[in-house]
Amino acid sequence: MPDFRLSEEHEALRQSVREFARDVVAPVIGDFYERHAFPYEIVRQMGKMGLFGLPFGAEYGGMGGDYFALCLALEELARVDSSVAITLEAAISLGAIPIYRFGTEEQKREWLPRLVSGENLAAFGLTEPGFGSDAGGTATRARLDEATNEWVINGSKAFITNSGTDITALVTVTAVTGETPDGRKEISAIIVPSGTPGFTVAPGYSKVGWCASDTHELNFDDVRVPAANLLGQRGRGFAQFLQTLDEGRVAIAALSVGLAQGCVDESVKYAKQRHAFGQPIGNFQAIQFKIADMEARAHTARLSYYDAASRLAAGEDIKRIAAITKLHASEVAVANARDATQIHGGYGFMNEFPVGRFWRDSKILEIGEGTSEVQRMIIARELGL
């Protein structure tokens, strides 16, 4: 039978990240959140800890770990703050891993050492203003100028994480590069370095949550990059990113579990401190049952992502399992954030309490990297419906 107990190495990592989140992130992140400011110093320290290199080989400066190690780190960070967690998740799952999985050796040598060290960040440009869940409707186009051997890119991308920081090095974008024999769009992936002429980053969004993370719309106006910046095979960009999203959904599930568990932590603490009718509110069965339900949800969602991560490590096809765990964990996060806010009463509506951030941060987990509706579509298709 499966054994979900952590190895000594994984447990040591979890404890290390838990202490970092508690001692370094928690005391200051509320201020960054209120100012909608990116926490560069926290990111720098995560880089020193090796967190950006967790699932990458030592030949590129990585830690030689696995995807499960990344998931554990994401859970512990999100237990305190999701902006920091999503910065790490997007930098690895969406930024560096496509280059690691599909890049040429030259591309890997050029970009990965800077990305796995946390010195630079990379972003993943898939979503467009007119096409959200319909990623196959990509309108951004790239034509190969044979005279100069360059791709010329025109279009825009929306809601792109880590795309406009001072340390963002590149964005990998999907673009229509032609037509397939059966008349469908040929979609390829192309690396666009930051600062390339014609590539502009719009001002950051005013967001409901994840307020200390970096999110922008991107515009490409006759952007020229070398033909060698093609990532993977021409015409395989969409398929490559679908594989990337399957893996990323496991990571988002881990982040969701962290938020859900953080809601339990804060609610238990508050229930012991807050008095009403002459006693701690934690003495009342209504509060006890609500927190018990929250803990049960977090526990089962954790087991789900542990299972998905172990299958990923074993090389199994995880499309259905990744959709299940992302769907379940994200809905658990929203439910726990709602209940934690209710337990805190009026204080749960105040930004000075972590559950206020948790509530604001939870909803995007049912939207980003595939909406709950998309996850249900995938599950149904995988069942043959």
Strand-pair partners of 123: 171
Q: What six digits make up the tokens of 161?
A: 């994480």
Q: Report the pLDDT value the prediction gives residue 3, as an integer from 0 to 100.
A: 66
CA distance 152 to 173: 12
Long-range contacts of 294-297 (CB under 8 A, 24+ apart): 294/260, 294/263, 294/264, 294/267, 294/335, 294/336, 294/339, 294/340, 295/264, 297/260, 297/332, 297/335, 297/336
Handedness of CA 206, 210, 211, 214 (dihedral sign): negative
pLDDT over 60 (residue 1): no
- Name the residues annotated as catalytic: 369
Handedness of CA 372, 377, 382, 384 (dihedral sign): positive
pLDDT over 90 (residue 245): no
Considering only residues 356 and 245, tell me which one the structure prediction assigns the higher pLDDT: 356
The mean pLDDT of the chain is: 94
Burial class (CB in 10 A: 0-12, 13-18, 19+), 283: middle
**pLDDT single digits (tens) 25-64:** 999 999 999 999 999 999 999 999 999 999 998 999 998 8
Among 5-14, 222-231, 260-269, the least confident range: 5-14
The type of residue at 38 is F
CA distance 310 to 308: 5
**Region 297-326: what's the mean pLDDT?**
95
**pLDDT single digits (tens) 60-96:** 999 888 899 999 999 999 999 999 999 999 999 999 9
Q: Report the pLDDT value the prediction gives residue 135, as an integer from 0 to 100.
A: 62
**pLDDT single digits (tens) 116-156:** 999 999 999 999 987 766 666 789 999 999 999 999 999 99
CA distances (Å), origin 355, targets 82, 268, 321, 343, 361: 11, 12, 29, 10, 9
**pLDDT single digits (tens) 318-337:** 999 999 999 999 999 999 99
Strand-pair partners of 200: 219
Q: Determine contact, residues 52/114, Cβ cutoff 8 Å.
A: no
Q: What six digits make up the tokens of 202?
A: 């719009």
Q: Determine contact, residues 127/161, Cβ cutoff 8 Å.
A: no
Please indicate whether the domains covering 123-235 and 239-382 agree at the CATH topology level.
no
CA distance 190 to 173: 5
Given 2.60.40.1220, 2.30.30.90, 2.40.110.10, 3.40.50.1820, which CATH number is that of 123-235? 2.40.110.10
**Region 176-184: what's the mean pLDDT?**
89
CA distance 68 to 302: 12
CA distance 4 to 249: 19
Percentage of the chain modeled with pLDDT above 90: 86
pLDDT over 80 (residue 4): no
Q: Report the pLDDT value the prediction gives residue 2, as an integer from 0 to 100.
A: 59
Handedness of CA 247, 252, 253, 255 (dihedral sign): positive
**Region 306-315: what's the mean pLDDT?**
92
Q: What share of the chain is helix, strand, coil (3-state, %, to 5)?
A: 55, 15, 25
Fold classification of 239-382 (topology level): Butyryl-CoA Dehydrogenase, subunit A; domain 3 (1.20.140)
CA distances (Å), origin 184, targets 188, 254, 338: 13, 35, 43
**Region 294-323: what's the mean pLDDT?**
95
Q: Where are the domains of the chain?
A: 8-121, 123-235, 239-382
Say which CATH architecture domain 8-121 belongs to. Answer: Orthogonal Bundle (1.10)
Tell how far CA 249 is from the center of its chain. Answer: 8
Percentage of the chain modeled with pLDDT above 70: 98
Strand (E) positions, the chain?
A: 121-125, 141-145, 150-161, 168-179, 185-193, 199-201, 215-226, 230-231, 275-276, 279-280
